[in-house]
Structure 1
Amino acid sequence: MTTNTKGTTARKNSAQMVHYLRFAVNFNDAGIAAGVGKQTLPAGAVIIGTDVNIVTAFNAGTTNVLTVGSAAGANADVVAGADVAENATGLTQNIKPTGAMLVPLAADTQVFAQFTQTGGAATAGKAIVVVKYVPDNDL
């Protein structure tokens, strides 16, 4: 059971353990081309790696790009486009964050997923994203 601080939607359990955000990204999620807010990391959290499981290959005609970041749009500071082979099923583990996501988060931070494509439009594609983090619960 999570013990969220009033006024925040971030997941934060009081135990000293690794926490995670888990969410699906589909090729046809509403607004996915612009970036969709998924879940929220708590202030002070440190990301220790992200896993991406391509359950169904994304099949746009030319390029398939899945990114995860701290802002909608082109931000890819959790998972960059080159980190995952979106056009093949499989698991990519322990993707290292970049930029501001490398250090403890200054504030609650929403995580966004984005799928962009070129060529013929995709008719399939699903990924499961797991962002692993340690919250700041030092006493």
Structure 2
Amino acid sequence: MTTGIPGSTARRNTSQQVGYARFTVNFNDPNVANGNTKQWLPAGALIIGTDVQVVTPFNAATTNVLSVGLGASNANVVAGGAAAPGAVALTQNIAPTGAALGPLAADSQLNVTYTQTGAAATAGQAIVVVKFIPNNDL
């Protein structure tokens, strides 16, 4: 069972199993162009991959870029271009980069950003699943 930790908003499993943070991203989510906080991962967690399921294609006229990162403006969990938000698709096991590699130093926010160019999008929805292993060696 995933539970909250007193003093923390991060998710943690209580047994030796892979945890995940699952959230939906819409083209018109508040502040999505600047980074929208969705979930938290616990300190010591290892991100082992991220899946992006585009349910409804994002339809801005020129470019559609979906990224996920630790912190307000990073794209180190899902780099822009790693998933194809312009078409219904499932992109699996996107590897993290940079600060998202190795154990997380502290409880960390997962932020999603959707940027677009050309005529503004009128549709778009994706489900993101960040898979992680918590530090159960405590």
3-state SS of the aligned residue for 1:86?
coil
**Residue 57 (structure 1) aligns with:** 57
**Residue 22 (structure 1) aligns with:** 22
The structure with the greater share of residues assigned to strand is 2
For 1:117 and 1:2, locate their aligned partners in 2 and report how far apart those are by CA, in whole Å.
35
3-state SS of the aligned residue for 2:22?
strand
TM-score, length-scaled by structure 1:
0.96
**Residue 41 (structure 1) aligns with:** 41
3-state SS of the aligned residue for 1:12?
strand
3-state SS of the aligned residue for 2:99?
helix
**Residue 68 (structure 2) aligns with:** 68
3-state SS of the aligned residue for 1:15?
coil
- TM-superposed CA distance for 1:4, in Å, is 2.5
- TM-superposed CA distance for 1:127, in Å, is 0.3
What is the aligned-residue identity percentage? 64
3-state SS of the aligned residue for 2:24?
strand
- TM-superposed CA distance for 1:3, in Å, is 3.3
Unaligned segments of structure 1, at least 5 residues: none
Aligned-residue CA RMSD (Å): 0.9
The within-5 A match list for 1:1-139 is 1-73=1-73, 75-138=74-137
One-letter amino acid of the counterpart of residue 133, structure 2: V
3-state SS of the aligned residue for 1:92?
strand
Q: How many residues are paired up?
A: 138
TM-score, length-scaled by structure 2:
0.97
For 2:55 and 2:9, locate their aligned partners in 1 and report how far apart those are by CA, in whole Å.
27
For 1:87 and 1:4, locate their aligned partners in 2 and report how far apart those are by CA, in whole Å.
35
